[in-house]
Chains A and B, each alone.
Chain A
Amino acid sequence: MTNILNEIGIENYIFLSVILFCIGVFGVLYRRNAIIVFMSIEIMLNAVNLLFVAFSTYHQDAQGQVFVFFSMAVAAAEVAVGLAILVSIFRNLGSIDINNLKNLKG
């Protein structure tokens, strides 16, 4: 495949994923529901994955795509743990609004 990057240009991929990443960041910053915050983090990670793939084609080099698998696996593990924590919180508090989690401060 004569790569499409030549037409579109790597920069646009970068911009796209940066935008996605920022969306994720803002999601984390502004949403109060823990699940949605998770999802926002996922968006961040996936934005990065996208960029990885882009770069790997840009460099004609497979490492990037391999790395994506690593990161996806890791993300999955993280989410698993995170959800576990969330469940136990829900058991204790009956809600998953992170605004309720302000007992530790000062």
Chain B
Amino acid sequence: MNTNLALLLLLAPFLGFLFNIFFGKKIGKTASGVVGTLTVVLSFALTLCFFSKINIDQQPIQIQLFNWIQISNFRVDFGFLLDQLSILWLLFVTGIGSLIHLYSISYMHDDENMHKFFAYLNLFIFFMITLVIGSNLLVLFIGWEGVGLCSYLLIGFWHKNQEYNDAAKKAFIMNRIGDLGLLIGIFIIGSLFPTLDYTTLKTAIASSNNLDISMISLAAFALFIGACGKSAQIPLYTWLPDAMAGPTPVSALIHAATMVTAGIFMITRLNYVFDLAPEVQNIIAIIGAVTSLVAATIALVQTDIKKVLAYSTVSQLGLMFLALGFGAYEIAVFHVITHAFFKACLFLGSGSVIHALHGEQDMRRMGGVKKVMGITFITFLLSSLAISGIPPFSGFFSKDEILMTAFHNNIALWVIASLASLMTAFYMFRLLYLTFFKEFRGTEHQKSHLHESPALITFPLIVLAILATIGGAISLPTGSWLNGYLAPLFSKEAHEAHHFGTTEYTLMAVAVLGGIIGITIAFVKYIKQNQVPAEDAEITGFAKVLYNKYYVDEIYDAIFVKSTNVLSRFFRDYVETSLSSLVFGLGKVTNELSYQGKKLQTGSIGFYLFVFVLGLCSIVTYLFLAQ
């Protein structure tokens, strides 16, 4: 029973994909969209069943399908594990997924390849589910690469534009770098305790008394690199902003809510491995903090509405990694969920604006749309408050938890994180003001066509906004449902530790204050003084550096891409040719010899006989000397 349900849950989106690939064009755009959406909704419904089930009896559900890959010392089964974590993840993957499908029906309606778009979205959901419910690392890897593929397909969805294709390629390859790390991690784990299955692995670690910590740390580090690739952490984050080339729903679903959180999922899954490697955890924490700050600084000056959101995503993910670094997995998960709500909402909101402005993404060409786009504005406002950590919105609770943990473990990182969140508040409201307030700065034509988006777009916005507002409820500082729910997963006792004293309250105050300061600065800058960000040419000084993202892309390009291509050209033009001429050379030499030899064949009898006699004499004399 469970098996069939689980399979249905998994395969429903896949069937949707197949249906849309083969019949999508025939049945027309809306129909294909509806089909795509319904399949995801179905999965969502099934997830809810499982969720209710697991809430009653804490029993995780194990499903083994068949033996997949056979390795000398262990074998990998095709199996699923439905426990608290995976079901929780399924909830928002399928939930937000179905909302975004719904949204896309209207958003993508002008695109002639809409059925393909839905096919890819369904495929993505399918792979994401695989990633989440896989019972071992290799099934996770299927999903891991699969979502990478889908993000490739969707980023490059408008494949006539080679720049988009470049972005897609970049995303795929950077992910692959991470994947190699993940693979190596899998190898190490597989050879240490011959299994890749989560549950058996957990017991194996728990039972064994002499663990090779150094190897485990190496494994943890390798896995973390994988996570960096997927979850866009330093140094592998540059693909995410470029990924905004894809349609906005894609950015909302894949590059904000679901796929990018896969890294956090994986680390939380393997918390028992990471707990064994404290130094790796430190690295994770540091990387997370730094990423959050760097991304936030870049976001300060971006003018493309989606770029800002992209960098804010990177920064938020950084915060999550910070939490993971301190072993506060449930807090990271908490932030993942709340972030999924408000970030999805923000992206969809921006999408609705872009939609209204016929694809205009530059904030300098926007402004004042709040008059016509009321709903969009409200939802956007709520989510912005949430992300800026203003109580009582969801973001406040999750972010505050993270900051608190940081404070308790490492002041320096706490400072960095707080700075990041202050900047977050600033740039979010900068975005808000520039987009919705003041006068419209775009063309007349655009102005005339300004309109509120249709219900299909606004409905998801509203839902998400509500969630973003109240989402914090699942883990209130006083008695957290989430921590209780996730408790079975974690070996050591969850971080209920910091009972609420003065420090905690001051910290909260500081955090909130930071948010408010950020908002105020933005308000002063863009409402009071009515500034508009300068045109690209006029940007100077440090702002220019920030505007160009610290030139990281350029540096990577120079170091890796260029050098590889130079090497490739060198190999092609010199090494290859010289190698082959080496082989040809032998032939040439013999040919030359033959050419010279022909001269010996003079045709004169005298000479022939002379050589004859010479040979005769030499042989005879040699024989004499020999005897």
Point out residues on A near B: beta carbons under 8 Å: 25, 28-30, 32, 98-99, 101-106
B610 at the interface (CB under 8 A from A): yes
Contact B605 A98 (CB under 8 A): yes
Can you list 6 A-B contacts (CB < 8 A)?
A: A28-B609, A30-B606, A99-B604, A101-B605, A103-B603, A105-B604
Q: Mark B583-627, 1 if CB is under 8 A from A, else 0.
A: 000000000000000100111111001100100000000000000
Question: B613 is contacted by which of A29, A101, A103, A104 (Cβ under 8 Å)?
Answer: A29
B609–A29 touching, CB < 8 Å = yes
Assess whether B606 is in contact with A105, with CB atoms less than 8 Å apart: no
Place the interface of chain B in its size category: 10 to 19
A104 to B601, CA, bound (A): 9
**Smallest CB–CB gap between B433 and chain A, Å?**
94
**A98 neighbours in B (Cβ, 8 Å):** 605-606
* Complex Cα gap A104–B605 (Å): 11
Selected contact of A29 from candidates B598, B602, B603, B606, CB within 8 Å: B606
Binding site for A on B (CB under 8 A): 598, 601-606, 609-610, 613
* Beta-carbon nearest neighbor of B602 in chain A: A105
Q: Take A25-B613, A29-B613 as given contacts and tell me if A102 and B606 are in contact as well, using a CB distance cutoff of 8 Å.
A: no
- CA gap between A106 and B603 in the complex, in Å: 7
Q: Are A29 and B610 neighbours in the complex by a CB distance under 8 Å?
A: yes
Closest CB pairs A-B (n = 8): A105-B603, A102-B603, A106-B598, A98-B605, A105-B601, A104-B603, A106-B601, A29-B609
What is the bound-complex CA distance between A30 and B606, given in angstroms?
7
Q: Which residues of B contact A99 (CB under 8 A)?
A: 604
Residues of chain B lying within 8 A (CB to CB) of residue A29: 606, 609-610, 613
Q: State A102–B601 Cα separation when bound (angstroms).
A: 10
Nearest B residue to A104, CB-CB: B603
Which residues of A sit under 8 angstroms from B598, Cβ to Cβ? 106
> Which A residue sits closest to B603, measured CB to CB?
A105
- B609 engages A102 (CB within 8 Å): no
**Chain B residue at smallest Cβ distance from A37:** B605
Give Cα distance in the complex from A28 to B613, angstroms. 11
A30 to B598, CA, bound (A): 23
The docked-state distance in angstroms from the alpha carbon of A101 to that of B602 is 11
With a cutoff of 8 Å between Cβ atoms, the chain A residues found around residue B601 in the complex are 105-106
B374 to chain A, nearest CB (A): 99
A residues in contact with B609, CB < 8 Å: 28-29
A99 and B610 CA atoms in complex are apart in Å by 14
CB contacts (< 8 Å) of B603 on chain A: these are: 101-106
> Given A29-B613, A101-B605, 13 more contacts at CB 8 Å?
A28-B609, A29-B606, A29-B610, A30-B606, A98-B605, A101-B603, A102-B604, A104-B603, A105-B601, A105-B603, A105-B604, A106-B598, A106-B601
**Chain B residues in 8 Å Cβ range of A28:** 609
Instruction: Give the distance to chain A from B593, nearest Cβ to Cβ, in Å.
Output: 15
- How distant is A102 from chain B, measured CB to nearest CB, in Å? 4
Task: Give the docked Cα–Cα distance between A101 and B613 (Å).
Answer: 20
Alpha-carbon gap, A64 to B212, bound state (A): 97
* CA distance in complex: A25, B614 (Å): 12
CA distance A105 to B599 in the complex (A): 9
CB distance from B21 to the nearest CB of A (A): 70
Residues in chain B near residue A105, CB distance under 8 A: 601-604
| Identity of the chain A residue whose Cβ is nearest the Cβ of B597 in the assembled complex | A106
Which residues of A sit under 8 angstroms from B613, Cβ to Cβ? 25, 29
A101 to B603, CA, bound (A): 7
